[in-house]
């Protein structure tokens, strides 16, 4: 049986493109094969599996993977123009994976009432999370209460779920090939990152098309930001298979700038979810169009994703 390709819309080329999937054979075995799903349940979703893989990526010998990875995934131009280090200066694969970029490599879209993507990746936007007909597959959705870690609380105690009811959401999926630091989508005062423990399933569409609830079952961290233009914003970093570490680098309980670094992931694919209060942001039309078709849009951190109104007072 022919494998269905994973396609995304490239915002820069204006074309649909097929994703070159890192570890595709393993992903399809784990999520599409009955034997693989047993292995997933028994081992792969657990932290020890991801810890061991991440540990290997910290070995000095793992640096030998860097150059072949760059060639296989077409990162040669980025290595010359964006990376702050020479390809040969990364001591481990994890060091390369967590690489920083030159500031000019990711210009931040201007405007006090403009929100930007928090990470490089493939993005889905939903103007009304309560009415979204589906995420990666039509009709497949998860409960906001579960995403925010309030699923077990009585309805009257679900403060965050109530705050973001009817609000807007962005799902930003990072592939292993992507720059793996995440940033603030808007300026404001950032609170303290809250950890919600969970499993480590893959967040690739191959997995999410089978069970979207993986996004709310995985380990994640939630930070509330009182923004200048969009009211309260929630930034949620979601761990995944081989991404056991979500590292926060921002100063908690402090003002942050739009596009300022918030943290980074260690090796693997991962995901950032951004929530806005109801009526506070209008996403750009191209993003809404593609998301309505369950097609992700590729865009880089700092690129514009929508605009809103500045708070008065």
Query: Which tens digit of pLDDT belongs to each residue from 25-34?
Result: 666 766 666 6
Per the CB < 8 A criterion, the answer to whether 261 and 200 are in contact is: no
Q: Which residue has the tokens 């990072």?
A: 174
Q: Which of 97, 131, 146 is the last residue of a domain?
A: 97
- pLDDT confidence bin for 214, thresholds 50/70/90: confident
269, part of any domain? yes
Please indicate, yes or no, whether residues 160 and 236 belong to a single structural domain of this protein: yes
Q: Residue 117: pLDDT band by 50, 70, 90 thresholds?
A: very high
Residue 311 pLDDT? 43
Q: How confident is the model at residue 44 (pLDDT cuts 50, 70, 90)?
A: very low
The SS3 assignment for 179 reads coil
Q: Which residues have a catalytic role annotated? A: 120, 183, 270
Same-domain pairing of 222 and 267: yes
Residue 245 sits in the same domain as residue 276: yes
Q: What is the pLDDT of residue 75?
A: 93
- Please say if the pLDDT value at position 189 is more than 90: yes
**196-210 average pLDDT score:** 79
- The reported pLDDT for the residue numbered 107 is 97
Claim to verify: residue 181 and residue 261 sit in the same structural domain: yes
Residues 226-269: tens digit of each pLDDT: 998 999 999 999 987 765 588 999 988 999 999 999 999 887 66
Q: Are residues 226 and 180 in the same domain?
A: yes
Over residues 67-75, the mean pLDDT reads 91
Q: What is the enclosing helix (H) or strand (E) of 206? A: helix 205-208
Could you give the CA distance from residue 148 to residue 293 in angstroms, rounded to a whole number? 26
90: left (phi over 0), alpha (psi -120 to 50) or beta: beta
pLDDT for 41 beyond 70: no
User: Does 237 lie in the same domain as 215?
Assistant: yes
DSSP letters spanning 26-53 = HHHHHHHSHHHHHHIIIIITSHHHHHHH
* CB neighbours of residue 49 within 10 Å: 18
Q: Comparing 196 with 57, which gets the higher pLDDT?
A: 196
Question: Residue-wise over 234-257: b if at least 16 C-beta within 10 A, else e?
Answer: bbbbbbbbbbbbbebebeeeeebe
| pLDDT for position 215 | 82
Mean pLDDT of the chain: 85
Q: Are 213 and 244 in a shared domain?
A: yes
CA distances for 81 relative to 77, 84, 91, 97, angstroms: 6, 9, 20, 16
**Which has the closest alpha carbon to 164: 237, 231, 246?**
231
How far apart are the C-alpha atoms of 297 and 291, rounded to whole Å?
Answer: 8
Overall domain count for the chain: 2
Q: Is residue 228 part of a domain?
A: yes
Q: Are residues 54 and 155 in the same domain?
A: no
Mean pLDDT of 304-313: 70
Q: Does position 2 have pLDDT exceeding 70, yes or no?
A: no
Domain coverage including residue 255: 108-308
Which residue would you say has higher pLDDT here, 243 or 75? 75
* pLDDT at position 252: 87
Q: Does the pLDDT at position 106 exceed 80?
A: yes
The C-alpha atoms of residue 17 and residue 187 are separated, in whole angstroms, by 32
CA distances from 277 to 22, 84, 163, 290, 308 (A): 35, 36, 7, 22, 11
Q: What is the pLDDT of residue 31?
A: 64
The residue from 97, 125, 150 where one domain ends is: 97
Same domain, 84 and 154: no
pLDDT confidence tier of residue 201, bands split at 50, 70 and 90: confident
Question: Counting beta carbons within 10 angstroms of the beta carbon of residue 214, is it exposed (0 to 12), middle (13 to 18) or buried (19 or more)?
Answer: buried
Domain boundary among 42, 62, 97: 97
Whether the CB-CB separation of 276 and 230 falls below 8 Å is answered with yes
**Same structural domain for residues 33 and 118?**
no
pLDDT band at 125 (very low <50, low <70, confident <90, very high): very high
- Distance separating alpha carbons of residues 129 and 143, to the nearest angstrom: 9
Strand, coil or helix: what is 130? helix
Name the least confident of 6-10, 110-114, 130-134, 135-139. Answer: 135-139
Provide mean pLDDT across the span 186-208.
Answer: 87
DSSP character for 129? G
């Amino acid at each position: 049986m022919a494998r269905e390709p994973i396609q995304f819309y490239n915002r820069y080329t204006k074309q649909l493109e097929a994703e070159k999937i890192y570890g595709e054979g393993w992903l399809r075995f784990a999520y599409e094969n009955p034997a693989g799903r047993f292995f997933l349940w028994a081992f792969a979703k657990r932290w020890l599996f991801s810890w061991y893989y991440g540990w290997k990526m910290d070995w000095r010998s793992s640096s030998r993977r860097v150059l072949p990875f760059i060639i296989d995934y077409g990162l040669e131009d980025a290595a010359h123009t964006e990376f702050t280090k020479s390809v040969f200066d990364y001591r481990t694969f994890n060091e390369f994976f967590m690489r920083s970029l030159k500031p000019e490599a990711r210009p931040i879209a201007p405007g006090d009432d403009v929100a930007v993507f928090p990470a490089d990746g493939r993005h889905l936007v939903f103007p009304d999370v309560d009415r979204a007909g589906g995420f990666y597959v039509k009709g497949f959705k998860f409960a906001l209460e579960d995403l925010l870690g309030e699923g077990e609380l009585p309805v009257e105690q679900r403060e965050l779920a109530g705050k973001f009811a009817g609000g807007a959401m962005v799902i930003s999926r990072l592939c292993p090939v992507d720059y793996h630091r995440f940033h603030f989508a808007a300026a404001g005062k950032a609170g303290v990152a809250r950890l919600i423990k969970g499993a480590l399933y893959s967040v690739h569409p191959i997995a999410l098309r089978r069970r979207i609830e993986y996004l709310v079952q995985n380990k994640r961290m939630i930070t509330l930001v009182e923004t200048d233009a969009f009211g309260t914003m929630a930034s949620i970093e979601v761990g995944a298979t081989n991404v056991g570490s979500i590292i926060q680098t921002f100063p908690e309980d402090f003002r942050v700038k739009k596009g300022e670094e918030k943290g980074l992931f260690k090796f693997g694919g991962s995901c950032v979810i951004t929530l806005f209060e109801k009526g506070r942001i209008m996403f750009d039309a191209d993003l809404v169009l593609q998301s309505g078709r369950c097609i992700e849009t590729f865009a880089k951190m700092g690129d514009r994703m929508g605009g809103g109104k500045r708070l008065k007072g």
